[in-house]
Amino acid sequence: MPWPIADFRSDTMTAPTAAMRRAMADAAVGDDVWGEDPTVARLEADGARWLGKAAALFLPSGTMANQVAIHVHCRPGDELLCEERSHAYCYEGGGIARWSGTQVRALAAADGFPQPEQVAAAIRPDDPHFPRTRLLVLENTHNMAGGRVAAPARIEALAAVAHRHGLLVHVDGARLANAAVALGVPATSLVAAADSATLCLSKGLGAPVGSLLAGAVEFVAAARRARKAFGGGMRQAGVLAAAGLIALHEGPALLAADHARANRLARGFAALPWARVDVAATETNIVMVDLAAGEPGELLAHLRAQNVLAAQIGPRRVRFVLHRDVGDDGVDRCLAAAAAFGRTSSPGFS
């Protein structure tokens, strides 16, 4: 293998740093299901402050954080509204139906964020024929839209419509720190209008495991009960929270470099004759490349031969995600390998 692997498949592909591993080894712990782990308590307190909510809960994954939130907000037979490519709807194993018996009304939005009028039009009248429209789920940044961001005013406008009709609002903030950094606003301003919000510590922020779910004190108490029922009560979880604290406090400052590298990667691909990239829509750490010629599988194999990994996420679409373990060198190698792709694999190029 000529070079270290540059892994663009996901920003979950980060290894805990030496400082995280030391903090994990040294963490003060107790049984968190009994409420006795001081490191988890500290992470939950700091996480609540970072998200601007009264309380927060530490969970094993962003998936469980979303599903617990939906479970607390909705009853069986309720309906929630979300964008049609939302993670909570499409990529969590059907969890909304499995765990909450709630149905989904999916809205189309090119950049991942429906218009307030779309939300208003989708809210069902109070009539026994209909499900009760109960929850609006927003995703910021929006993963499948290519890491797009919505500014505070847009979130506030959407939440205002939802609240006016008696709905609650949940923000899937798996990459909320990326949104805050890209917009230059505090994360609190992005979720102030929401009733609950998540943050993944295990994506670009670099922790090996864990997510936060924040909201009002009563909401988090109910979420804590649901987390136990979902099997997410963890015992000496301080060993994980110790890494999470470093991710929360030191991770966001590193994200601007990821965004700059994503922009450079996007511009590099856009210059290739067979690649289509919306550079202006590359707002954070995700680069979506559509192939106008050649097969995605062949591109991935070609890159892999140079120790560059990416993921196919559509019939002609390949996703590259920047994170702290891919540096400038990884971007250089990716672009050099991509430039050679069109030259070496002629069959698909007519």
Ligand X SMILES: *Cc1c(COP(=O)(O)O)cnc(C)c1O
Interface stretch with ligand X, choices 57-65, 213-221, 264-272, 285-293 (CB under 6 A): 57-65
Query: How far apart, in Å, are the Cα atoms of 91 and each of 63, 68, 73, 113, 133?
Result: 9, 15, 20, 17, 22
Q: Does 61 bind ligand X (CB under 6 A)?
A: yes
Q: How far is the CB of 202 from ligand X (least distance, A)?
A: 6
Interface stretch with ligand X, choices 60-68, 69-77, 148-156, 221-229 (CB under 6 A): 60-68
Please give the single-letter amino acid code of residue 296: P
- Residues numbered 14-43 forming contacts with ligand X, rule: CB under 6 A: none
Q: How far is the CB of 161 from ligand X (least distance, A)?
A: 22
Q: How far is the CB of 347 from ligand X (least distance, A)?
A: 34
Interface stretch with ligand X, choices 59-67, 72-80, 245-253, 301-309 (CB under 6 A): 59-67
List, in sequence order, every beta strand (DSSP E) within the chain.
6-7, 55-59, 79-83, 103-107, 133-139, 168-172, 196-200, 211-215, 275-276, 286-291, 308-309, 311-312, 317-321
Q: How far is the CB of 175 from ligand X (least distance, A)?
A: 6
Q: How far is the CB of 88 from ligand X (least distance, A)?
A: 7
Selection from 263, 347, 350 nearest residue 297 by Cα: 347
- CA–CA dist 142, 283 (Å, integer): 10
Interface stretch with ligand X, choices 56-64, 114-122, 297-305, 313-321 (CB under 6 A): 56-64
Selection from 176, 119, 174, 133 nearest residue 152 by Cα: 176
Q: Which two tokens stand for residue 268?
A: 């590099």
- Member of 174, 207, 212, 237 binding ligand X (CB under 6 A): 174
DSSP state, residue 118: H
- Residues numbered 79-98 forming contacts with ligand X, rule: CB under 6 A: 87
- Cβ-based nearer residue to ligand X, 66 or 285: 66
- Cβ-based nearer residue to ligand X, 7 or 172: 172
Dihedral of the CA atoms 319, 184, 170, 113 (nearest 10)? Answer: -60
In what helix (H) or strand (E) does residue 15 lie, and over which residues does it extend? Answer: none
Interacting residues with ligand X (CB under 6 A): 61-63, 66, 87, 139, 143, 172, 174, 200, 202, 211
